[in-house]
Every structure is written in C-alpha cells, then in structure tokens.
C-alpha cells in the first residue's frame, strides 16, 4: 500500500510570515513534489523528515512504501521515484545500476533483543533465549537480512539449536509481527531491527548489548540520477544532511543500540595500539579465520594493532571509494585490487593465497549432485554469492560461462543470493539448500555437516588473493610491513593451517 505524506504550502507560508524560517533563494523557488521510494522499515523517521522539509521549504513529498527489494527493479529500470531510501546492500545495487545521484547516510539498522515490558523472564543476553521455558520469536532468514545476521550469530555462539527449540515454527517475515507477538504476550522475547523496535516501546523493552553480528547495515537516503527534478532532489539531500541523522537517531537507528561490528581488536592489540599505532584491514569475509590469526601475530611481532573489518569484497571496495579510509584491502579475488589500483587507490600489493571454488552439498548428498550440470536439474535448491557483492558470486558467473551453462538454467534453481561466502555454508548446514558454491577453505569448516564435490580444474576458475596498501593509509610504512608479512613463511603457514591454498594451483 502506498501512503502519501503531504504538508501544504499554505502552512509553510504561515511559518515564513511568523519568522520561523530563513529560506535561501534556492529554497524560495516554486513548490516541487518529490516521489520518495521508501523501505517500510523507515516509515516513522521519514514521515517526520518530509514534514519538516515541507514546513521549511514549501515543497511536498510523497512517500511510497514497500520492500527495498520491491523498489529496486523500478530503480534499475529508471521507471519511478526521485529519491530512494534503503539500506546495505541496496545502495550498492543502485550505484551499480548507474541510478545514484548522491547518497546521504542517516543511520544504521541493527538487530536487538526485545522482551515484554518489565522483562518478566529476566533475560539479559541472547544466550538466555535458549533457557528452558522461554518462548521466542525470530525473523525468518529466508526473507530477512536481520534473520540472516541473527542465525549466523547464534551459530557462531553454538547456541542455535537450543534457541530454535524455543522458537518452534515461529519464524516470521515482518518485524512488526515480532513486536505484536510480544504485545499480545504470545512470546517472551524476540529479535528485530532497532528502529522498528522503537515503535513498540510502550509494550516491550530493548535489552542492552553488546551483540556480535558480522555485518554493518547502513541506511541512506539516495537521490536518483534519472529524476527530472534534480534541483529539488539536491535541495532535499542538503536538508537530509542537516537533519537526517538526528531524526533517525531519535527513532533508534543507531549503531550503539545493538551490534558490535566485526572490527576485531584483541586486548593484546589494544596494548599494541597504545605503543605503535593501529592499522585498519578491510578484509573479505571468506578470509576471516586466517586473517584474524595473521593480524594477531603481526601485532605481537611489530607492536601495532590490526583492526579487521569483514564484509563482501565488492561492498568493501565501495566503502573504500566512498570514504577514502583504511590502510589495507584484502578481498577474495585479485580483480577487486586491480580495480582499486586502476582508480588510484592502491600504493603497493602482495600475494596472500588462492581460493578454489568447490560445490558444497548437504551431508550424504541426498540429491546425488556430482557436477556443475547437476545444479540445473529440476528440484535442486541452489545458493550462490551475489556477483555484485562478493568475490565468490563473480567467480560463479565466470565458471558457468566457461562451461557454457546458461544463466537462465541456473537462475531457475537459485533460491538464495548471499552477500558473503560464509552465509552459503550455514544454509547447507541448516538444510535449507541442496548445493552451494564456496571456496575450498570455507568448505573445510563445514566438514562435519556437509560434503564437498570438487570442480575439475579444466572447468574451474581459481581466485588469487592479494593484499594491497591503500593510499588513504595513515601508516603506509607499517601497512607495507603487513603486506610483506602476509607473504612470509609464518603467515603462509597460518593460511595452510586454515585450509587455504598457498601454492599456485596447476
């Protein structure tokens, strides 16, 4: 359903006469109506923003509510809207489609633990969701980014089975359903987006963090490049830059309301930082196990902390381009470092390891999958990386092309596109998919819950992993030492320990 928020120019004129506004000549132009494609999770703060905007400028805005995934096709086709309000990774999808004029970051989405008012069960952490007698409601990972993050966190903590026993069949699609379950006292606790939880604070409480999630979900207001109202769009974005973060913070869309981001620094590294400084490594999620240990060892040897920020390779590259921050970049494929170098972002580079794509299937291989061609068979549920977000997705597209497997034949079986390679293994472990393509090192971590089907070398496309020193580095000499260390026997042994290939595949 579309919802229209309008504030008349008459009210704005009255405000002007009362001296309540000091409009610039740019704002004094005739009223223009903007169409804003708005994700449903951002309704309350956007309603307040467009009301303030109308009062101060005399311009009107129409908020068209829907899921971010529902709005995206319109954006890609340049078919509707002047402004698009969404979250990671839809900002990147908009940019990739050439539809982004400018974006203004206004806040963060983060899953938070919520309980009934008064917290009658005395729940203090997500671990308590596995306690006997606690009735739990969670967002469904098949429909919700929040659900994906929560399931990964529960799995990493080793408490997923216990929590899911208390969930039963109560995995829901909409965050408001979580709030309503608690409101009706049908459940004792749940997890939902921070901002949506603020709509239910009369009947629920948010349990303070910290929480430990893999992803950072940013919220942005994006001007659309194909809009015929560019002047008004720029005016609206200027307004959002001044007021947007304050309004979204008021409605709870803040980092510190929930997730502790995966920028990992150990106590030892904190001591090292006080002595020798700190490096920020932007690292592909698939390299995380080895990268964390290598960072720790480098810190011990050189007295400098290495903070690791893990995400999909493409998402990290977009962040580097946008923010021009960080010291080191180690994505899942050399392609991304090559691209960054062409854009003048890389000062030096060195080889790290190799990734070999493999097919990962459910334990016992119940669908008898033995080859790439089997992924196109009717009834096989397949998961692949999103080529616009992570290295494994891009490699999969290359593998299918190399083997003359039509994209349409694969797409009809693809039930999930991930932002990072690690998500795919978890979905096999949960039994939600029949087959995924992941890196060999990632597959090794699911040996107890899945089987590996190798892809013959002549059919495969291997990924070379390199680490680059960013020109934005505040400590280029230290960053250069880290690149040298990654190629050293010590670091190469750490890669091998975590099942990464360190010699060029034949």
| 1, part of any domain | no
Burial class (CB in 10 A: 0-12, 13-18, 19+), 342: exposed
**CATH number of the structural domain spanning residue 447:** 3.40.190.10
Residues 230, 363, single domain; the answer is no
Domains in the chain, number: 4
Residue 6, pLDDT score: 40
* Residue 502 maps to a domain: no
315 plus 332 within the same structural domain: yes
Asked if 91 and 36 sit in the same domain, the reply is yes
Burial of 398 (0-12, 13-18, 19+ CB in 10 A): middle
Q: Are 327 and 197 found together in one domain?
A: no
Task: Say if residues 91 and 220 touch (Cβ distance below 8 Å).
Answer: yes
Q: What are the tens digits of pLDDT across the range 125-178?
A: 888 999 999 999 998 887 777 888 888 888 888 898 899 999 987 788 777 788
Tokens 């700190």 — which residue?
278
The answer to whether residues 478 and 340 belong to one domain is: yes
| Domain end call among 152, 186, 212 | 212
In a domain, 3, yes or no: no
pLDDT of 29 > 60? The answer is no
Please give the structure tokens belonging to residue 48. 């307040």
Question: How far is it, in rounded angstroms, from Cα 185 to Cα 115?
Answer: 10
Q: Do the Cβ atoms of 83 and 101 come closer than 8 Å?
A: no
Segment 58-79 shows an average pLDDT of: 86
Contact 383, 433 (CB under 8 A): yes
Q: Which residues, 6 or more positions from 264, have their beta carbon under 8 angstroms from its beta carbon?
A: 292, 295, 307, 308
Q: What is the dihedral of CA 117, 121, 124, 129, to 10 degrees?
A: -110
Instruction: Give strand pairing partners of 111.
Output: 193
Reading the block at residue 492, the tokens are 């190469």
Is the pLDDT at 490 greater than 90, yes or no? yes
Residues 118 and 201 in one domain: yes
- Domain of residue 26: give its range: 9-107+218-257
| Pair 397, 472 in one domain | no
Q: Do 169 and 292 fall into the same domain?
A: no
- Please check whether residue 90 is in contact with residue 220, taking contact to mean a CB–CB distance below 8 angstroms: no
Domain-embedded: residue 2: no
Strand residue runs (E) in 266-412: 278-284, 305-311, 328-330, 346-355, 357-362, 382-385
Q: Report whether pLDDT(275) > 50.
A: no
Sign of the CA dihedral 229, 232, 235, 237?
Answer: negative
Query: Are residues 346 and 482 located together in one domain of the fold?
Result: yes
Half-sphere exposure of 360 (CA within 13 A, CB side): 34
Per-residue confidence band for 390, with pLDDT thresholds at 50, 70 and 90: confident
**CA dihedral sign, ordered 139, 182, 167, 261:** positive
Cα distance between residue 19 and residue 1, in whole Å:
37
- Residue 271 CA to residue 269 CA, distance in Å, equals 5
Q: For residue 149, how many other CB atoms are within 10 A of its CB? A: 25
Which segment of 29-38, 117-126, 380-389 scores lowest on mean pLDDT?
Answer: 29-38
- First-last CA distance in the chain: 56
Which DSSP string do the residues of 467-496 spell out, in sequence order? EEEETT-S-HHHHHHHHHHHTSHHHHHHHH
Q: Residue 214: pLDDT band by 50, 70, 90 thresholds?
A: low
d(CA 458, CA 403): 9
How does residue 37 score in pLDDT terms, banded at 50, 70 and 90? very high
Q: Is 241 helix (H, G, I), strand (E, B) or coil?
A: helix
pLDDT band at 1 (very low <50, low <70, confident <90, very high): very low
Residue 327 counted as domain residue:
yes
Residues 266 and 316 in one domain: yes
Q: Are residues 306 and 428 in the same domain?
A: no
Check residue 88 and give its pLDDT: 82
What is the band of 26 on the pLDDT scale with cuts at 50, 70, 90?
very low
Three-class SS of residue 18? coil
Tell whether 4 is covered by a domain.
Answer: no
Question: Does 473 lie in the same domain as 324?
Answer: yes
Residue 323 has pLDDT above 50, yes or no: yes
Q: How far is CA 306 from CA 259, 293, 296, 309, 327, in A?
A: 20, 10, 7, 10, 10
Decide if pLDDT at 210 tops 80: no
**What mean pLDDT comes out for the span 233-252?**
91
- pLDDT exceeds cutoff 50 at 24: no
Report if residue 63 sits inside a domain. yes
Rg (CA), the chain: 24
Instruction: Report if residue 506 sits inside a domain.
Output: no
Distance CA 247, CA 106 (A): 8
Q: What is the mean pLDDT of residues 303-323?
A: 81
């Amino acid at each position: 359903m579309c919802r229209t928020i309008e504030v008349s120019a008459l009210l704005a004129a009255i405000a002007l006469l009362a001296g309540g506004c000091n409009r610039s000549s740019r704002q004094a132009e005739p009223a223009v109506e903007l169409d804003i494609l708005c994700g449903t999770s951002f309704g309350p703060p956007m309603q307040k923003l467009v009301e303030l905007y109308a009062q101060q400028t005399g311009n009107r805005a129409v908020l068209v509510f829907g899921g971010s995934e529902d709005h995206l096709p319109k954006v890609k086709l340049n078919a509707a809207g002047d402004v698009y309000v969404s979250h990671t990774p839809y900002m990147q999808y908009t940019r990739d489609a050439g539809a982004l004029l400018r974006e203004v970051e206004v806040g963060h989405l983060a899953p938070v633990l919520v309980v009934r008012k008064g917290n009658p069960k005395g729940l203090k952490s997500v671990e308590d969701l596995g306690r006997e007698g606690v009735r739990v409601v969670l967002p469904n990972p098949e429909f919700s980014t929040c659900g994906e993050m929560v399931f990964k966190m529960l799995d990493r903590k080793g408490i997923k089975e216990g929590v899911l026993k208390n969930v039963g069949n109560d995995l829901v699609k909409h965050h408001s359903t979580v709030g309503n379950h608690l409101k009706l006292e049908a459940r004792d606790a749940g997890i939902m987006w921070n901002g949506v939880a603020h709509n239910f604070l009369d009947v629920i409480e948010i349990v303070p963090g910290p929480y430990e999630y893999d992803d950072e979900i940013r919220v942005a207001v994006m001007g659309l490049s194909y809009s015929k109202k560019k002047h008004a769009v720029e005016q609206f974005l200027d307004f959002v830059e001044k007021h947007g973060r304050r309004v979204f913070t008021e409605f709870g869309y803040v980092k510190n309301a929930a997730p502790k981001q995966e920028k990992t620094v150990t106590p030892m590294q904190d001591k090292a930082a006080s002595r020798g400084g700190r490096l920020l490594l932007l690292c592909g999620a698939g390299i995380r196990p080895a990268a964390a240990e290598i960072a720790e060892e480098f810190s011990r040897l050189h007295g400098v902390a290495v903070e690791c920020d893990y995400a999909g390779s493409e998402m990290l590259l977009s962040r580097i381009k946008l923010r021009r921050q960080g010291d080191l970049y180690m994505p899942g494929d050399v392609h991304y470092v090559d691209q960054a170098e062409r854009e003048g972002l890389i000062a030096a580079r060195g080889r790290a390891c190799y990734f070999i794509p493999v097919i990962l299937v459910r334990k016992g291989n119940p669908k008898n999958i033995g080859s790439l061609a089997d992924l196109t068979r009717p009834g096989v549920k397949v998961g692949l990386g999103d080529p616009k977000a992570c290295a494994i997705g891009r490699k999969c597209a290359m593998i299918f092309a190399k083997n003359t497997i039509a994209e349409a034949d694969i797409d009809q079986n693809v039930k999930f596109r991930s932002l990072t390679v690690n998500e795919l293994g978890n979905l096999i472990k949960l039994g939600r998919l029949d087959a995924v393509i992941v890196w060999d090192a990632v597959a090794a971590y699911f040996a107890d819950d899945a089987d590996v089907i190798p892809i013959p070398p002549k059919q495969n496309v291997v990924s070379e992993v390199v680490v680059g020193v960013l020109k934005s580095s505040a400590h280029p000499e230290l960053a250069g030492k880290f690149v040298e260390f990654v190629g050293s026997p010590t670091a190469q042994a750490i890669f091998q320990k975590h099942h990464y290939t360190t010699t060029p595949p034949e």
